[in-house]
Each structure stands twice: as C-alpha cells, then as structure tokens.
Structure 1
Amino acid sequence: MTERKENIVMFPFMAQGHIIPFLALALELEKKNGYTITFVNTRLNIKKLRPSIPPNSSIRLLEIPFNSSDHGLPPDSENTDSLPLPLLLHLIVISPALEPAFRDLISGLVLEHGRPPLCIISDMFFGWSAKVAHEFGAFHAIFNAGGGYGMAAFHSLWLHLPYNKVNSEEFPMPGFPKGHQIHTKQLPEHFQVAVPGDSWVKCIVHSPDLLMYCGLYLA
C-alpha cells in the first residue's frame, strides 16, 4: 500500500512580491521533503502562475473565489500590480472577506484527503487564516520573505507614526536602541500619506488583527 504524502497548503497575498517567494518555498518543500503542495490564489493569479510550475512538479494550483467588484475594486483587480496605492491598501483591508471561501476550500481538501493538511502556510496579511487552520486541527505558520529588522521597523512605525510628532526630517524609531534614526525620504508612500485617525491607520492600529496587518501575527 502506497503511503499518502502529507499535504501543505500555501496561500500568499495577491502581489508578485509575495507570490514569487511563496512559490520558491513551495518548490523547495516539494523537492526536499516530498510533501504534496496545494497552492491557493485567485483565478487570474493562478492563470499567471501555471507557466512557472516545472513540468515534473506535482504542485496543485487551486483557485479561491474572489470577485473584486464586490469589494469596491475595479473588475478583475486580483493583483496589486494593477492597483494604485489607495486601492492596494484597500485590497489588504478587505482580505478577511476571503475567510469563508478559504474555510470551504480547506473543508473540501479534508473531505478529499480524509484528514486535514499537515500545515497551512499563509501570508502575513492573512492572519485570519490561523483561525481556519485551528478549526481543522492543522498547524499554521506565517511566511514573510522580508527581513526581521525591516518588519520590526514596520511595526514600530505603524504603531507610533513618529514622523508626525517631530519637526525634523530625521527621527528615532520607538522601541529601537538609541541612535537608530530614519529619514522621512526612506518611508514608503503609504506611510507618508498616513494621518492619525484616518480609516487606514485605524484599521491597523485599532483592529484586533493589528499584528496580522503588521506582518507579526504568531499562531
């Protein structure tokens, strides 16, 4: 009797800078450990991914339903490549809307395989997926291709918005050792336009899913 391989589900955020590292990790897991990999994303991203899968790979590409028009986005807006900054941020904010479809998808895999996935590896913006994984008894992990220092800085900046509290172009980062300065020109655009109290900042700072949006959700 052939032993069934353990299945790992991988679900990156809908951006090339997230999908590409996830795919690289999927190929490594398949090669080194012999797991079966189920790679989840929206229809257009799956279509774009298919040519990148090696012919000898058994990675399974599985579509999750998503209609961008239902969430205040232009039709077929399934990747940040096609969105200006305000709508890119909106795509992150509405990502929990994928939770019911993701739960149905995992339920289908459990029925198909007769057991839950060994692990669900999801994007740093999909912290809600931890709840789904735990419901089915699957281990959950967040994969972030960024460096630890950068993510710590990201966390500090979002929590404190320190650049709004100084009259200098350079400012210290709260929580970092003395001498760690950053220049306003080093800030990405979405930090530069952030205003205390606006909907985007409230979503990050006051949401129960704060750590999810900051990329620091641990499960």
Structure 2
Amino acid sequence: MASTRNCDGVVVLFPFLAHGHMNPSLDLARLLSTRYPSLSLIILTTDGNLPHLSRRGLPPSIRLSGLPFHPTDHGLPPDADTTFALPPQLVTRFNHAIQDSLPDSFSAYLSSLLEAELPLLCLIADMFLGWTAPIAEQLGVFHATFYTSGPYAMSIYNSLWINLPHVDGRHGDDDEIAVPGVPGITVRRRQLSRNMRSAASNPDHPSGRFVRRQAECCRRSRATLWNTAEALEKPFLELWAESTRQPVFAVGPLFSAAGGRGTVVDDGGIAAECFAWLDRQAPGSVVYVSFGSQNRLPPEEAADLAASLERHSRPFLWAAPAADQAPPQDAMRQGIGMVARGWVPQAAILVHPAVGVFVSHGGWNSTLESLGSGVPVVFRPIGGEQFFNAKLVVELLGAGAVAAAGGAEAAEAVEEVMADEERGRKVRRRAREIAAEITAAVAEGINGIGESLRALDEFMSSVTRRC
C-alpha cells in the first residue's frame, strides 16, 4: 500500500556513473514514485547514459536529464560514460574526470530548476559525487548523500583511505590493523584491495585523494540515506550519525523495497535461457557465479574455479556481462555449467529454488540481493569496499564464507557452505533468517510498515518541513 501523503515538488537523484551505483538510485526513484505519487522525480546523468537509462522501464513520474561529458577530453575511451568495461588503471582517472568536468554544468542545471514553477525539494546525490554538496549549499538546496554501500564497509573504507594506518612499512598479509574512528574493528592486510595496499608506497595515491575529497564534501550534506536495513547494521548507522552529526536513514535494501528492477528490453533471450536451464536443476544444487559489471578474475583463476566446481559435480550458472568475464571454454569439460554471456536478471535468478549459493565479488548490491533471497554468499573480493562487505557477512552476520584468492579455494568454500554438516547448515540458516529480517524491513500491511519504509517517510518529512 503506497503512502497517500502529498509531496508536491521536485526531487533530483544524481547517481554516480557506474551500474552498481545507478541501479540502487533507480530503485530509490521507483520507491519514491510509488509512495509519493505527486512528486516530480528527475534522474540526472550524462548525455551518453540517456539511451541506456531510457530502456529501464521507469514510471511516467520519473524523467531523465543529461549533462554534457566528453570522455576523450580526459584520455578516456569515447564510450566511457560509465565505469563498465574500463580497465582498472582508468577507473580513478574516470572518477577525477567526473569531479573536474561536471560542477559548472551541474550548478547551472540546479539553478535552472530553482527558477521553475515547482519547488525543488531536495537533491539526493551519490557518495562519489560529494562535490555536489557545496554547490547545493551555496544555492540553498537541501542536499542528501546517498550511500550505495553500507555504513560498516564505508566506515572502514573511508577511515583507511583518510588515515592510512596501513602505511607503516610492514607488509605481512596477516598484520592486524586498527581502524581509526571505528572502535573494536581491525582488518588484516590481506583484506585490503590491491589499490589500497599500493598506498603503502604512495601516501598521495590518486584514489586516496579522491576519497578524501568526497568525504570532506559529504560532511556538508544535510542527511545521509543508506541502501541497507537497521537489522543488518544498526550499530554502524549510529556510529556514522554520531561521528558526522548528520541524520541517517536506512531505507533499503532498495531492490526489495522497490519491487524489482524494471524491464531491460532486447536481452537476446538470455533470461529465458537461464531460467529454462535452472528449471532442469535440482533444488538448492546450483552455484550462481557473478563478479559484477566491472570486475574480472585473472583468466587462470576463472578457469580453475570452473574446473574445480565441475570436479565437485556442482552445476553452475556463470553470468558474464562482458566477454572477458567468462571462464575459458576448455575449463568446462563435463558440461554441467552454463555461461550467460550478457546481462541477466540477477535478483530473479537468486530466488529460483535451484540456486543454493552465490560466488560473488562482494559488491553491496549483489550481497544484498543474495541475503534478501536467503542465499549464502561465498566471497572472492576484488576491489573497493568488497573486502569489508565480506567481513561483515562472514564475521558478524555468519551468512557466508570467504576465499581470498584461487578458484580451487573458492570451490572448497562452496563445498563448506553447501555440505550437510554443522557449518553449512548454520550458514544457510542464518541466510534464511536475514532474508526474513530484510522482508520485514520493507513490508507494509495491516500491522504497519517496516523500519526501512518508515525511515524513508521520516526523511521526506524532514525535507517537506524545511520547504
């Protein structure tokens, strides 16, 4: 049941230009559209992303608007309007290019909205677009930062990049590092991404400069929205509110609250092929494998993982949006695995009764979709905050396992989680319990509304009171 509250005015959502950031922003827009039907919602992006987003099945109350961005002016490929398919060495350059080139056109766009007939209620901007906060402040626009990751992982991630406690001359993988500002939390050096570890020899690392700049700007925001639920991370939401003195609103998981990801047309029949294959598998038998939209295993590791799953007679569905994300064909000799070459409806696949475990890079969207479906995760982190998402789920929530590297090691972790022994039963039970908590957080019925929907209503109430 949608909220009937009237909220006349415009809300602008500005997602970062990466699929893992765009998807939850679109979900948030859909949820706002459903709960507040009188809102006028705008998704702001770059001109090059408009064709892709226009095919996402958005409701009529959500419109798209683009800012000019010319990737080649920054030494990037001409089609680099998102981080998808960018090699790792260009991602940081892309981040800085967005930060350096969009502020003027963004400021002009926001000013034009202030002159329009409908009031501009607020701007909800991605955590990697922190530079929007000072501009909004200068123009008198209510600014909220949208975190597409959880507060546990982001607290660790920001602290490490800002304080650099790992730049101490030591290099042992099992060195334990205290995380400044996050009481009681330590990480081991092996839980740092390769990019973060490289800061040990370069404290002025460009990734560090980018993170520090965004964190500094985001402190000028008026509120923070989180794609998580209190049931998963309440102590860390409270810690964030205390340390930043900003109100926090846990409004997720948004893929569940929004009731689906809309439609993506012209998938070439990939989805139908996946579901037909899954329908032929035994319940709980399938290993779903995906490393997101921009992560790649080393080819030899991908081959090792596919071959190891086959040796254990585990049927697997491997999603490979880009050609170089698929395992080599010669690693699949038994023919018990399927490779989906293109985009797949991951959230729908995870709720299929045949799926028993998810081997994932540990991106927050994938992690939430898996937990929300009651499917345990075997993590193979690659970059960003993925190592800390794995740490949360494995060490604090008890709903998965982690394989630091190596396809055979990941396959062994799969066996541990899927086996009919105490450890596997406990992990699977915790995944089901967490799924029930997530369902309750976004539910609405005769007994009231869940904590995440309540948080969204509280946020909108704070926005409209100001106006």
Q: Aligning the two structures, in what range does the TM-score lie when normalised by the shorter sequence?
A: 0.7 to 0.9
Query: 2:377 aligns to what?
Result: none
- Indicate yes or no: 2:206 matched with 1:200: yes
Choose from 182, 190, 196 the match for 2:187. 182
- Indicate yes or no: 2:58 matched with 1:38: no
Shift of 1:47: 1.3
Query: 2:76 aligns to what?
Result: 73
Question: What is the aligned residue count?
Answer: 211
The letter of the residue matching 1:45 is: N
- Indicate yes or no: 2:223 matched with 1:211: no
Shift of 1:141: 0.5
Shift of 1:198: 3.7
Q: Distance in 1 between matches of 2:91 and 2:210?
A: 14
Q: Distance in 2 between matches of 1:150 and 1:24?
A: 21
Q: Distance in 2 between matches of 1:114 and 1:136?
A: 17
Which structure has the larger Rg over C-alpha atoms? 2
Unaligned runs of 5+ in 2: 1-5, 223-467
Query: 2:330 aligns to what?
Result: none
The letter of the residue matching 2:16 is: F
Q: Distance in 2 between matches of 1:32 and 1:152?
A: 30
4+ residue runs over 3 A deviation: 215-219
- Indicate yes or no: 2:124 matched with 1:121: yes
The letter of the residue matching 1:109 is: L
Shift of 1:184: 2.9
Query: 1:23 aligns to what?
Result: 26
The letter of the residue matching 1:200 is: P
SS of aligned partner of 1:49: helix
- Indicate yes or no: 2:168 matched with 1:142: no
Q: Distance in 2 between matches of 1:18 and 1:210?
A: 15
Q: 1:101 to 1:83 in 2, by over 3 A?
A: same
Query: 2:57 aligns to what?
Result: 53
The letter of the residue matching 1:134 is: E
The letter of the residue matching 1:177 is: P
Shift of 1:70: 1.4
Question: Deviations along 1:33-54, whole A, 9 cap, x unmatched?
Answer: 1211110101232211111133
Query: 2:164 aligns to what?
Result: 161
Question: Deviations along 1:48-68, whole A, 9 cap, x unmatched?
Answer: 1111133x4320100111001
SS of aligned partner of 2:17: coil
Query: 2:110 aligns to what?
Result: 106
The letter of the residue matching 2:135 is: V
- What is the aligned-residue identity percentage? 31
Shift of 1:189: 3.0
TM-score of the pair, normalised by structure 1: 0.84
Q: Distance in 2 between matches of 1:189 and 1:217?
A: 30
Cα contact 2:44–2:64 (8 A) shared by 1 = yes
Unaligned runs of 5+ in 1: none
Shift of 1:17: 0.6
Cα contact 1:122–1:143 (8 A) shared by 2 = yes
Cα contact 2:9–2:119 (8 A) shared by 1 = no
Shift of 1:211: 1.3
